[in-house]
């Protein structure tokens, strides 16, 4: 079994997308390949077919490898609840909540479990493409590292070090990272990758040669900057990025926003632009307003209340179309209760009062894959929430869930008002399927005097873009050298 690990000079240098590209390239070349990231910190998560939670970045990588996403591809998921605390997901299930220091002290306990698990995965695939996290040069974390060089040494993986030239200072960041590694760690690095390059490669080449002379490591490729409609690397999202189009879809940028990949499927619609509202000043007059999920519903609601966005949402809801997803759905209700301190120290706060529901945060997390149907068509997706919402006399369910983790069920989800302009649901990914997306956007189009349109399959666009990504990376990286580094003779 062969393996290769992509580490980076820092966060958001493109490690996730490079792993995605390599997974698709190796699959195209006829190998069984699996993505792996021992520890991911992200508020973008996903529920597998067996009801386990994992990071979204490894989901896209799994699709690139032609696999169904599985929790073992991302055994540790850290979901921040504040600057110093996080929820720990281990092998898809809630392990507990901890401070940064508490988790730091736990790492060695996880190390042996990760090693044993990885050895089992090795037996199932020809190649494993491993992703690091942040930078391997965090020397204060070296003694308990389980995601960068510490993990590479644990499983004896060769490393490629990626740097982002678009940030500036790529030569210094690559050389500086190598300088801070130990001698044994430097030996493990078999090549560098310069990512997100714009411009004339001939101008860059002398710098690449000088870098190779300095660090004694070859550059295996320079990957150009590209724009494809693939999921953004968590933490690297440009929330100020705007595309002008006929339909203005606005998403509230909550302080603890989670699962913003819910709205990626809207990108396939040529007449839709997506923007993120960060303050009252850029609220505008959207055609559709979405309140997304969050890891801290109550605190984020209080922020909206304090900054004045809640008042604008309420005013907009008198005529506009509002959709709340998960935490956003909970905010639209009358009351939010947290008797066990699951999310916050606030035991009870009033909601926006736009839907007649009441939410109580429970100790157990709901993690399910679901299929559902309602007046706006059929949807499929997944639920990840601690809160349970109860209906008042004036609440009408939005969906009937008929499939839960592959089993037949019959239960209600979400709520919608009488005018059908305010709606909420716990189902993440509700725009991925055609029916709900098409009917919702056509409602907006008709209201604006525009013609109705047929929606496209999001999955087809994703597959096309994954192939385009693989082609681009294959042309700009020495793939045959990578095979040699992994010990594969072709």
* Active-site amino acid positions: 326, 428
Question: Per this entry, what is the length of the chain?
Answer: 490
Q: Which long-range contacts (CB under 8 A, 24 or more apart) does 345-350 make?
A: 346/298, 346/299, 346/302, 349/298, 349/301, 349/302
Nearest of 486, 474, 369, 469 to residue 429 by alpha carbon: 369
Is residue 395 within 8 Å of residue 421, measured between CB atoms? no
Task: Give 384's strand partners.
Answer: 367
Cα end-to-end span (Å), the chain: 14
Structure tokens at 396: 């009408």
Q: Look up residue 72 and give its two tokens.
A: 């073992």
The side-by-side arrangement of strands in the sheet containing 247-252 is 272-277, 247-252, 288-291, 322-325, 422-425, 415-416
Written as one string, the DSSP assignment of 118-164 is HHHHHTT-SEEEEE--S-TT-GGGGGG-SSSHHHHHHHT--EEEEEE
Helix axis angle, 297-307 relative to 309-316, nearest 10°? 90
């Amino acid at each position: 079994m062969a393996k290769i690990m992509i580490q980076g000079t820092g966060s958001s240098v493109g490690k996730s997308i490079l792993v995605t590209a390599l997974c698709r390239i190796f699959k195209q070349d006829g190998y069984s390949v699996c993505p792996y990231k021992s520890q991911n910190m992200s508020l973008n998560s996903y529920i597998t077919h067996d009801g386990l939670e994992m990071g979204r970045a490894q989901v896209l990588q799994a699709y690139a490898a032609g696999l169904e996403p599985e929790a073992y591809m991302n055994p540790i998921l850290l979901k921040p609840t504040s600057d110093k605390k996080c929820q720990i997901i281990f092998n898809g299930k809630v392990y507990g909540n901890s401070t940064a220091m508490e988790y730091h002290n736990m790492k060695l306990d996880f190390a042996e479990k990760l090693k044993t698990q990885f050895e089992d995965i090795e037996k199932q695939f020809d190649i494993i493409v491993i992703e690091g996290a942040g930078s391997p040069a965090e020397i204060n974390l070296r003694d308990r590292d389980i995601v960068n060089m510490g993990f590479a040494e644990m499983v004896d993986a060769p490393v490629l070090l990626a740097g982002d030239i678009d940030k500036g200072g790529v030569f210094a960041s690559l050389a500086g990272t190598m300088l801070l590694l130990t001698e044994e760690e430097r030996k493990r690095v078999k090549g560098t990758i310069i990512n997100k390059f714009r411009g004339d490669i001939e101008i860059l080449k002398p710098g690449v040669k000088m870098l190779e002379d300095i660090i004694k490591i070859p550059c295996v490729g320079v990957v150009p900057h590209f724009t494809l409609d693939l999921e953004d690397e968590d933490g690297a999202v440009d929330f100020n990025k705007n595309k002008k189009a006929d339909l203005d879809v606005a998403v509230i940028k909550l302080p603890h926003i989670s699962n913003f990949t819910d709205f990626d499927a809207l990108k396939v619609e040529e007449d839709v632009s997506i923007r993120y509202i960060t303050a009252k000043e850029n609220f505008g007059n959207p055609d559709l307003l979405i309140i997304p999920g969050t890891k801290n519903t109550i605190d984020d609601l209080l922020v909206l209340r304090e900054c004045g966005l809640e008042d604008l949402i309420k005013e907009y809801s008198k005529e506009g179309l509002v959709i709340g997803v998960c935490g956003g759905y909970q905010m639209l209700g009358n009351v939010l209760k947290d008797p066990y301190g699951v999310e916050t120290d606030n035991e009870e706060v009033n909601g926006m009062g736009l839907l007649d529901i009441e939410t109580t945060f429970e100790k157990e997390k709901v993690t399910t894959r679901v299929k559902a149907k309602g007046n706006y068509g059929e949807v499929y997706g997944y639920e990840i929430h601690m809160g349970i919402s109860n209906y008042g006399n004036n609440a009408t369910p939005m969906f009937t869930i008929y499939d839960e983790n592959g089993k037949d069920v019959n239960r209600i989800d979400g709520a919608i008002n009488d005018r059908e302009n305010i709606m909420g649901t716990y189902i993440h990914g509700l725009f991925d399927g055609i029916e709900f997306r098409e009917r919702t956007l056509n409602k907006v189009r008709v209201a604006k005097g525009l013609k109705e349109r047929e929606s496209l399959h999001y999955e087809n666009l994703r597959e096309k873009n994954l192939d385009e990504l693989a082609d681009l990376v294959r042309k700009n990286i020495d793939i045959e050298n990578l095979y040699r580094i992994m010990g594969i003779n072709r």
